[in-house]
C-alpha cells in the first residue's frame, strides 16, 4: 500500500528515532540524538547566540527596580527612557546596556503571530505599561510615607514587621503589575508567538539555508538555529549556566536566574504537583534545536508545541496560586492586608499575561484580551479595588482559569 507520509516517533535510550515511509514504500530512518545540554557547535565553534534576550532581561530587571525608587529625579521621564531605551543613552547602571540598540518597549506585544496584523492592540498594551509607570510616579511616589487606605495610595506594612507594600488607591502595586505582566507581554509573547513560530523559523529561504547549512552573514549559525535560540534566551538568557539552566531552577532552595520566566518556572517546578515541568520545557528546547540541526522539522514543531503548552501552564498556575494565597489571607481571622494585596497584585500581572499564552491545539491564547480584561475587572473593578474584593470572587476567577488547563485550583493554590 502506498503511504504518502507516515511519522513515527520512538524514544529509546536517549535517542529519538524518526521513521518515515516514502511513496515507494522504502523506509528510511534518521536518528536525532537528544543532547544532554544546550550545546551546539559547527566546526568546533558554538552556534548558540541569544545576547539580545540577555540584554532585555537585564534591562527589565533595572526597570522594575526603578519603579521602587521614589527618590529618582524626573522619575517618569527616567523610567520611560529605560523602557524605550535608545542606543547610547545612559539609562542604565550597566555600560553595555547603555550601548545596546535593544529596548524592552519595542518588543512588548510585538510577536509576529499575535501582533503583526493587530497593531491597534499592540499599541494599547504598550500604553498600559506606560500608564503603570506614570501612575507609580504620580500616585504612589508622592505618598511613599502615607498609610494607604481605601481610596488613598500609600504604604502598607505586612504583619510582624514584614515588608512594606506600596499601593495605589485601589490596593494595587504597580511595580508588580508591570513586572508580572512583562513576563507575558515580552518573554512569553516573544518566545511562544514569535521565535517559535513557523512564520519566523521558516521565513523566506530559512528552510533551504538550514538544509544546506548556509549560515547567516558573518555568523556561525543558520537563521533558523538563531531564531530558536532567541526563544530559548527569553527563558534562560540570564542563566549562570545557560547550557544547563535547570541547575538554578530545580530544587527547593532555587529561585531561577531572573525575576521573570526563570524564577516562576522554578516556583512551579518546586511545587510537588508540578514537578518535572522544568525538565519538560528544557528537554523540548534542546531536542527541538537538535531537530533543526538534523533538519527534522516535524520533530522541531512537536517540541515547540510542548514548550507553548508548558510555559502557558506556568503562567496560569501562578495566576491561580496568587489568587488563592490572597483568598486565604482575606479569610484569616486577622487579615494581613499588605500581604493579601501583594499576592493579588502578582495575581493581577499573571492574569494580564494570560493573553500572551498559546494553546498548541488552537494556536490562539488560552484567554483572549477581552477575557483577560473581564477577569481583571472582576478582580479589581470595584469602587475600591482590592479593598472590596471577596474570597468568593477570587475563587470564581481561579476556577475560570484552571478550567482552561489540565490542573485544579487545589493543585495550583497550594
CA pair distance 13, 34, nearest whole angstrom: 10
Arithmetic mean of pLDDT, 46-52: 98
- 41-42/45-46 β-pairing: antiparallel
pLDDT of residue 33: 87
Q: Quick one: pLDDT at residue 30?
A: 61
Cell numbers standing for residue 216:
547567516
**pLDDT the model gives residue 12:** 29
Mean pLDDT of all residues in 88-117: 98
Pull the grid cell for residue 275.
514537578
Whether the Cβ atoms of residue 67 and residue 79 lie closer than 8 Å to each other:
yes
pLDDT above 70 (res 7): no
Averaged pLDDT of the chain: 93
Across 89-106, average pLDDT: 98
- Residue range 37-63: mean pLDDT, rounded: 98
CA distances from 238 to 159, 286, 321 (A): 33, 17, 25
Mean pLDDT of 193-199: 98
Burial 20-44 (b: 16+ CB within 10 A, else e): bbeeeeeeeeeebeebeebebeeee
Query: Is the CB of residue 167 less than 8 Å from the CB of residue 154?
Result: yes
pLDDT exceeds cutoff 90 at 315: yes
Under 8 Å between Cβ of 338 and 165: yes
What is d(CA 301, CA 309) in angstroms, rounded to the nearest whole number? 12
- Residue 157 CA to residue 307 CA, distance in Å, equals 39
Whether residue 294 contacts residue 30, with contact meaning beta carbons closer than 8 Å, is answered with yes
Cβ-count burial 324-345 (b if 16+ within 10 Å, e if not): bbbbebbeeeeebbbbbbbbbb
Per-residue pLDDT at 383 exceeds 90: yes
Helix (H, G, I), strand (E, B) or coil at 164: strand
How many Cα atoms sit within 13 Å of 115 on the Cβ side?
Answer: 24
What is residue 126's predicted lDDT score, i.e. its pLDDT?
98
Phi, psi dihedrals of residue 125, rounded to the nearest 5°: -65, -45
- Give me the mean pLDDT over the 158-173 stretch: 98
The pTM assigned to this predicted structure is 0.93
Question: Residue 31: what pLDDT?
Answer: 77
90 by Cβ neighbours in 10 Å (0-12 / 13-18 / 19+) ranks as: exposed
DSSP-derived secondary structure for 343-367: HHHHHHHHHHHGGG--BTTTTB-SS
Q: Residue 14 pLDDT more than 90?
A: no
**Could you report the per-residue pLDDT of 120-160, keeping only the tens digit for each?**
999 999 999 999 999 999 999 999 999 999 999 999 999 99
Banded model confidence at residue 13, pLDDT cuts 50, 70, 90: very low
Across 97-112, average pLDDT: 98
CA 337 to chain CA centroid, Å, is 28
Q: Is 304 helix (H, G, I), strand (E, B) or coil?
A: helix
Query: What confidence score (pLDDT) does residue 21 get?
Result: 35
Distances (CA, A) of 161 to 69, 328, 369: 21, 20, 38
Contact 243, 232 (CB under 8 A): no
Amino acid at each position: 500500500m502506498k503511504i504518502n507520509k507516515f511519522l513515527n516517533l520512538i524514544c529509546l535510550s536517549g535517542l529519538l528515532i524518526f521513521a518515515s515511509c516514502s511513496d515507494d514504500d522504502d523506509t528510511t530512518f534518521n536518528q536525532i540524538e537528544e543532547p544532554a545540554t544546550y550545546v551546539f557547535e559547527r566546526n568546533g565553534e558554538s552556534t548558540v547566540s541569544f545576547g539580545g534576550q540577555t540584554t532585555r532581561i537585564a534591562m527589565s530587571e533595572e526597570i522594575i527596580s526603578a519603579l521602587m525608587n521614589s527618590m529618582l529625579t524626573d522619575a517618569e521621564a527616567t523610567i520611560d527612557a529605560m523602557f524605550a531605551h535608545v542606543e547610547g543613552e545612559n539609562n542604565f547602571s550597566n555600560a553595555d546596556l547603555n550601548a545596546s540598540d535593544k529596548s524592552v518597549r519595542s518588543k512588548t506585544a510585538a510577536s509576529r503571530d499575535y501582533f503583526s496584523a493587530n497593531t491597534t492592540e499592540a499599541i494599547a498594551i504598550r500604553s498600559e505599561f506606560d500608564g503603570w509607570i506614570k501612575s507609580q510616579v504620580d500616585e504612589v511616589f508622592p505618598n511613599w510615607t502615607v498609610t494607604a487606605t481605601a481610596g488613598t495610595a500609600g504604604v502598607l506594612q505586612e504583619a510582624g514587621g514584614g515588608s512594606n507594600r506600596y499601593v495605589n488607591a485601589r490596593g494595587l502595586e504597580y511595580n508588580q503589575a508591570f513586572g508580572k505582566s512583562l513576563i507575558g507581554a515580552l518573554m512569553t509573547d516573544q518566545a511562544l508567538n514569535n521565535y517559535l513560530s513557523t512564520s519566523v523559523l521558516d521565513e523566506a529561504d530559512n528552510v533551504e539555508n538550514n538544509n544546506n547549512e548556509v549560515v547567516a552573514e558573518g555568523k556561525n549559525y543558520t537563521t533558523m538555529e538563531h531564531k530558536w535560540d532567541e526563544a530559548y534566551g527569553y527563558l534562560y538568557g540570564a542563566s549562570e549556566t545557560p547550557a544547563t539552566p535547570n541547575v538554578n531552577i530545580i530544587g527547593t532552595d532555587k529561585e531561577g536566574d531572573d525575576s521573570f520566566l526563570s524564577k516562576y518556572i522554578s516556583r512551579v517546578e518546586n511545587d510537588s504537583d508540578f514537578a518535572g515541568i522544568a525538565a519538560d520545557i528544557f528537554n523540548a528546547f534542546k531536542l527541538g534545536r537538535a531537530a533543526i540541526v538534523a533538519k527534522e522539522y516535524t520533530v522541531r514543531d512537536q517540541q515547540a508545541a510542548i514548550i507553548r503548552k508548558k510555559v502557558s501552564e506556568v503562567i496560569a498556575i501562578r495566576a491561580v496560586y496568587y489568587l488563592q494565597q490572597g483568598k486565604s489571607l482575606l479569610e484569616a481571622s486577622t487579615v494581613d492586608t499588605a500581604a493579601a494585596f501583594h499576592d493579588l497584585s502578582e495575581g493581577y500581572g499573571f492574569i494580564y499575561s494570560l493573553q500572551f499564552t498559546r494553546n498548541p491545539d488552537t494556536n490562539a491564547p488560552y484567554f483572549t484580551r477581552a477575557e483577560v480584561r473581564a477577569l481583571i475587572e472582576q478582580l479589581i473593578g470595584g469602587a475600591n479595588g482590592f479593598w472590596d474584593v471577596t474570597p468568593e470572587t477570587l475563587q470564581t476567577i481561579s476556577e475560570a482559569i484552571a478550567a482552561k488547563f489540565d490542573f485544579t485550583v487545589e493543585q495550583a493554590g497550594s
